[in-house]
Amino acid sequence: MPSLTFVTPASPGRSIVRTALLLASLREFGGSLAENPVWVFYPQDLGAFSGKERSSLQELGAKLVPFQADNKLLKFPLGYKVRAAAVAEALASGETDFLVWLDPDTLILSPPRDFILTEGKSLAYRPVHHQLLGTSWGDEQDEFWQLVYQHTRAAPERDFQMLTHTGEMIRPYFNAGSYAVRPERGILGNWWENFQNCYQTPVFKRYYDQEALFAVFMHQAVLTGTILAVLEQSELQALSPSINYPLHLHEEIPEEQRSKRIDELVTVRYENIFDHDGWQEALPFSKELAGWITSRLNEYHHGGDQA
């Protein structure tokens, strides 16, 4: 079987409950990939993990990897993810066949074999959960997206339809929280180069001033442009809606696309739903899976995952 490495970010001094829950879910439900390596990347300028944090993650088989990120980047919404992904890709080149990025609020519920790229494919992807900044299929790109394409040298003729989890047909807009790459293709390094060259420019800053979502999702927009510049559509491997399923948007998903049983999905995203009472009844979890999640959350919270 080809080699595959998972990577996720974390920050010293913040709760590592989500990171621990992700690791535990891989070890419990990952099947043949359950024991695959997991690299946890953290900005070294924020300091080191506490002894308790470090031991908690290492007990779950994590390799902790520091990376450099300046204060300007750390203050920009989610910009650190771009830097971490590029560093991970560089380290993975020649070391593993596939690199799988998963945001920390991910749960693995079934063996994630979908992330194994088939021959000739360089990126496995999901569209964004819902449209937000995206452009409806058939509509002209607005000025923001024209600028993104210009700054990333994206090829507009490579546009194709995507269906979001919430049922919108849109122009390309890739989710930056769950994907797999062949490290040697340099996709994530290109993403980082493009992001550095444009995220602080005045032409984009005026969008941040108008609406905060432009800053929050700038990294994702630049990823989209980068992919369309670097890859032909034939190199893209679409992942099924059972990957990166948004539990927090469950009721917004069209009924025909909505999961009837969460246990049967491969990976899910949950944002803050576990912080609210009643999530077990609000979503179609089995009692066994809901019990497992509750038990792990209690274990990691009780374990003092705050520095």
Kindly list the structural domains of the chain, giving each domain's residue range(s) and its CATH number in brackets, ordered by start.
Answer: 4-302 (3.90.550.10)
* Amino acid 302: pLDDT: 64
The reported pLDDT for the residue numbered 208 is 97
For residue 2, pLDDT over 90 is answered with no
Q: Where are the beta strands (DSSP E) in 117-229?
A: 123-125, 162-163, 169-170, 178-181
Residue 1 has pLDDT above 50, yes or no: yes
Return the pLDDT at 206.
96
The answer for residues whose C-beta is within 8 angstroms of residue 302's C-beta and 6 or more apart is none
In the prediction, which pLDDT does 304 show?
A: 44
Average pLDDT over residues 47-69: 93
pLDDT band at 269 (very low <50, low <70, confident <90, very high): very high
Q: State phi, psi for 85 to the nearest 5 degrees.
A: -65, -40
The token duo for 238 is 């679409």
E-strand stretches of the chain: 4-9, 38-43, 62-67, 98-102, 106-108, 123-125, 162-163, 169-170, 178-181, 236-238, 245-246, 267-269
Q: How far apart are CA 242 and CA 268, in angstroms?
A: 8
Give residue 306's pLDDT band: very low, low, confident or very high (50, 70, 90): very low
**pLDDT of 305 over the 90 cut:** no
Q: What is d(CA 276, CA 167) in angstroms, rounded to the nearest whole number?
A: 26
Give 131's DSSP letter. Answer: -
Backbone angles phi, psi at 140, to 5 degrees: -70, 145
Confidence band of 303 (pLDDT split at 50, 70, 90): low
**What is the reported pTM?**
0.95
Reported confidence tier of residue 155, pLDDT bands at 50, 70, 90: confident
Q: What is the mean pLDDT of residues 32-47?
A: 94
Residues ≥6 apart with Cβ < 8 Å to 117? 97, 98, 123, 124, 180, 182, 237
Please say if the pLDDT value at position 307 is more than 60: no
Q: Is the pLDDT of residue 204 over 50?
A: yes
Burial of 94 (0-12, 13-18, 19+ CB in 10 A): exposed
Average confidence (pLDDT) over 235-249:
97
Q: What is the mean pLDDT of the chain?
A: 94
**Mean pLDDT (whole number) for 257-277:** 95
- Predicted confidence band of residue 77 (pLDDT cuts 50, 70, 90): very high
Q: SS in 3 state form for 31-46?
A: HHHCCCCEEEEEEHHH
User: Region 194-213: what's the mean pLDDT?
Assistant: 96
Q: What percent of the chain has pLDDT over 70?
A: 98
* 147 close to 205: Cβ distance less than 8 angstroms: no
